[in-house]
Amino acid sequence: QVGVTSLVLLALLNTGMTAQDAPIQRGLEWLRSNQSDLTYEVSLKIQAFAAAKDGKTDIARVATLVRVLEGGQLANGSWTYGPNPRGLFNAAGDRSNAQFAVLGLREAQEMGVPVSLEVWRKARGHFLSAQNADGGWDYTGERGGNSTGSMTVAGLATVVITEAMLKAEENHLNRDGTPKCCDAPEDPAVLEKALRWMGNNFTVRFNPTTGRAPANGWVLDRKSTRLNSSHTVISYAVFC
């Protein structure tokens, strides 16, 4: 499976293996030969190619995958599973698929593959408008639902990432053309409310407020993202 293979490659690459190692080479070749249009899998495939740092080998592939994610964004700025896979299509999308799409697009842009500014704007607008009054986010729908830990960290990450990507429009770029990601946030109240929700509800025993143990969860350690002087990094767990 594209998603599982991508996750395994990400895990191995993050342990110090490289694109020169035979198992990684075999996995990358398999990914290059097998296609998917599902949001989770497209995103993970981009992330695996980005982590491999295999020169310019996969730039064209990643550009094609970016177009798939851009084309899959819904009118409200969210994403769903893809083109109606096994009847799972949700016309309103969900914030689990949405944050995976954002993660993949962020990795693509940092590889040098351009992503439409309108895609970033719509994704950011969706998450800002969907934040619940308590500071958290829920899985789908408009604000007012049941905030969960997994979707709140997804919201936190998406707000920070989309702001960084949009600053490229204002020429907030590093010398190599990649966007600066560590400036002070434009929406501190949004982040403060979300961080407060996480502080009040965080537990390692289960996904906060759902009561479900994270047996099917995985932890993704993102690059350090400076929020402000009192909040230095976000590292977040995504619970399935």
pLDDT score of 215:
32
pLDDT score of 89:
62
E strands present in the chain: 218-220, 236-238
Q: How far is CA 112 from CA 17, 38, 39, 53, 137, in A?
A: 23, 23, 21, 12, 31
pLDDT score of 231:
35
pLDDT score of 211:
54
pLDDT score of 29:
97
pLDDT score of 175:
62
pLDDT score of 42:
97
pLDDT score of 209:
76
For residue 228, list its beta bridge partners. 231
* pLDDT beneath 50: ranges in the chain: 215-240
Structure tokens at 197: 């929700």
